[in-house]
Amino acid sequence: MRYVCGHKIPDSDSIVGAVALAYLFNQIGIKSQAVRTGEINDESRFILDKFCLDEPIFKDSFKDQDIYLVDFNNYQEGADDLVDANIVGITDHHKMGGIKTSKPLDVWIRAVGCSNTIIKEMFDFYDIKIPKNIAAAMCCAILSDTVIFKSPTCTKIDTTTCKELAKIANIKEYKKLGLEMFNVKSNIKGVAIDQLIKRDFKSFDMHGKKVGIGQLEVVDITLFDDIKEQLKDGLRQVKEDEGFDTCLLLLTDIIAMGSLILVASDSIDVVQRSWDIKVVDSEFWLDRCLSRKKQIVPYIEQNFKQ
Amino acid sequence: MRYVCGHKIPDSDSIVGAVALAYLFNQIGIKSQAVRTGEINDESRFILDKFCLDEPIFKDSFKDQDIYLVDFNNYQEGADDLVDANIVGITDHHKMGGIKTSKPLDVWIRAVGCSNTIIKEMFDFYDIKIPKNIAAAMCCAILSDTVIFKSPTCTKIDTTTCKELAKIANIKEYKKLGLEMFNVKSNIKGVAIDQLIKRDFKSFDMHGKKVGIGQLEVVDITLFDDIKEQLKDGLRQVKEDEGFDTCLLLLTDIIAMGSLILVASDSIDVVQRSWDIKVVDSEFWLDRCLSRKKQIVPYIEQNFKQ
């Protein structure tokens, strides 16, 4: 059995990617199962429910088993025993994370905005027809990862692919679908502060310093007005409890197109130097910043190097 | 400028791959140059000469420059400053070697017999016509890496692709071309012992032990009768001089389909356990063994682990 799995705190690209790839592999004769190593989020559940797709089952141990990675390619973001698993392939759109294997495998990594864009390329390569509901979910994954084409990570290939998938799924107003999805994603009512911080949180080793960066994307940033101070306290707590040097939480407004960034850090000067800004009251605003991958990680990583 | 480069001791897959990919990238608007980090071998020169292609220029430093890797994906087999280069993409058919990048890139890795098989896939993906002489050279690279389809690394995709390339190049008797090429490769007359050992030599870190494995493929193994003892002495010398735990030299007979393996090792028991054989007089025979990658490396690596 080949298990297809995304990263530990799965987003919709990971979840839908696992479902779509497991379907593709089964079609070409490789017995496969979509799985997940973390809790499914509201947005992903909305997508699966809307298009009648099964949730990937939970699985967090892969020792000596065949695993195909989707939407990540490093050991840190996977199950704790990933290093002892048999990695048989990778589909991803992130930088290379240092994985070593003992055998040759298939790796589809592209500098595009979403793994599902590459999965569409794979369906075409293997000449397999995409079922309507899977095409719809893949379309949503691209809208999510590219922030409805607004993110600087979005390429022309992503927009073209998303439109092709919308056509297969017979979705006419895909931008409206995208906004509907982001409204679900924006839901923060009744969610615990800690859960909000960890909803989409990634940990990085930056030249010896442990850096954690979370992101919450909403259609209106004023949603956070009442809980901003609690989020700052929570972020400081995460930093202390888990031994981070620096924790950032991006509150991204996809309509205003920018991010308010909350900071808890032992290296405030590094943070300030990274974007030539001043951190006041543990926060700063970055205009036009929508992407953690392109607009946050490379800058702070470089400044930790110096 | 994007430099397209194969591994440090380049074989025909590396050399032809660099030429073909540089052509492809230039066609899609990325200014590119085929380069090499080591001496070109007789077989590769034969291919380039026969089909009127320019030799990649020598270049062994890439600090802060854009490099696209072909036929390898680790730091050990590349230029000494590869770790400081900007790796922009990879086309390869080997196991993953632990490369880390700071930005997303394009990675085309497939579990097939030859990188040029994947390069054909890339030409098709970008919808670029392959010039006849490049197609001919790519056809030769596949024949070389798959030992004219006899190697266990050869997949159906390699044979199909090779035939398609032969058709584009208007080569009717591609197997005859393969044998002609292997006759060139078999040329050992007047070549220094040290050069023969290093002609196609790869170094591996196997659970802390340094292991070097060379391979010479010939159409008739009796060619080595007169120099076998000199090769054993030379292999011992390389082992001592370069701090290897184990050095193997595969003398592969592509017609008889097997390899005589010369051994210089501090871990003879590991070597013997790996294939359940006895090393007598610093050598042993492995029937049907044509592939270092599939039939040598995984076995000895696993036994060094225990």
For residues B14 and B156, state if they share a domain: yes
| Interface check A208 vs B, CB under 8 A | no
Query: For residue B188, what pLDDT is reported?
Result: 85
A:257-296 residues touching chain B, CB 8 A cutoff: 293
Q: Which chain A residues touch B86 with a CB distance below 8 Å? A: none
The answer to whether the Cβ–Cβ distance between A293 and B107 falls below 8 Å is no
B216 lies in the same domain as B178: no
**Chain A touched by B306 (CB under 8 Å):** no
Beta bridge partners of A212: A203, A247
- Give the end of a domain, one of A167, A184, A201: A184
Structure tokens at B152: 């266990």
Which run of H or of E encompasses B14?
Answer: helix B12-27
Q: Of the residues B121, B155, B184, which one is the last residue of a structural domain?
A: B184
Examine the domain organization and report whether B176 and B199 are in the same domain: no
Residue A253: which of A227, A294, A290, A279 has the closest Cα?
A290
**Co-location of A177 and A203 in the same domain:** no
On whether both A117 and A99 belong to a single domain, the answer is yes
For B238-277, write each residue's pLDDT tens digit.
Answer: 999 999 999 999 999 988 999 999 999 999 999 999 999 9
Interface predicted TM-score (ipTM)? 0.82
The helix (run of H) or strand (run of E) holding residue B160 is: helix B156-168
CATH number, position A256: 3.10.310.20
Is A214 found in the same domain as A176? no
Of B164, B184, B204, at which residue does a domain stop? B184
| Domain shared by A71 and A180, yes or no | yes
Q: What is the pLDDT of residues A86-142, one digit of tens each?
A: 999 999 999 999 999 988 999 999 999 999 999 999 999 999 999 999 999 999 999
Structure tokens at A27: 């079609």
Q: Give which of B187, B190, B139 is closest to B165, Cα–Cα.
A: B139
Instruction: Give the nearest chain B residue to A204 (CA atoms).
Output: B102
For residue B95, the chain A residues in CB contact (below 8 A) are: 100-105
| Pairs across A and B, CB distance < 8 A | 76
Q: What's the pLDDT at A102?
A: 86
**pLDDT tens digits along A156-185:** 999 999 999 999 999 999 889 999 999 898
Q: Say how far apart CA A7 and CA A214 lie, in whole Å.
A: 14
Are A228 and A108 within one domain? no
Measured CA to CA in angstroms, residue A109 lies from A20, A95, A104, B89, B108 at distances of 16, 9, 15, 9, 7
Q: What domain range is B8 assigned to?
A: 2-184
Interface residue A105 vs chain B (CB under 8 A): yes
Residue with tokens 């854009």: B66
Q: Are residues A242 and A271 in the same domain?
A: yes
How many domains would you assign to chain A? 2
Q: Tell me, yes or no, whether A131 and A208 share the same domain.
A: no
- Between A88-92, A278-282, B167-171, B174-178, the lowest mean confidence (pLDDT) is in B174-178
